[in-house]
Structure 1
Amino acid sequence: METALDIQGLHVRYGPIRAVQGIDLIVPKGGITALLGANGAGKTTTVMAIAGALPVVSGAVSLFGKDMTGAKPDAIVRAGVAISPEGRRVFAQLTVEENLLLAGSILGDEKLSAKRLAEMKERFPILGERRRQMAGLLSGGEQQMLAVGRALMSGPRLLLLDEPSLGLAPQVVDQIFDIVEELKADGISVLLVEQNAALALDIADHAVVLANGAVAAAGAPSELANDAVLQSAYLAA
Structure 2
Amino acid sequence: MPTTNPPAGPSAGLAEALGAPDPSVRLRAALAAGSSPGPGLLEVLVRRCAAEPDPFVRDMLTWSLTRLPADETLPRLRRELGSPVPRARAQALHTLSKLGDARAWAWVSGDLLRDPDDDVARTAWRTAVALAPDGERAGLAAALASQLGRGGRDVRLSLSRALVALGDAVAPALAGAAAGPDPEAAAHARATEALARDPEAGFDAALADARRLAALGPERAAAAAAGQGAGS
Q: TM-score, normalised to structure 1's length?
A: 0.29
Query: Could you say which structure has the higher strand fraction?
Result: 1
Decide which structure has the larger Cα Rg and report it: 2
The structure whose residues are more often helix, as a share, is 2
Higher relative contact order (CA 8 A, sep 6+): 1
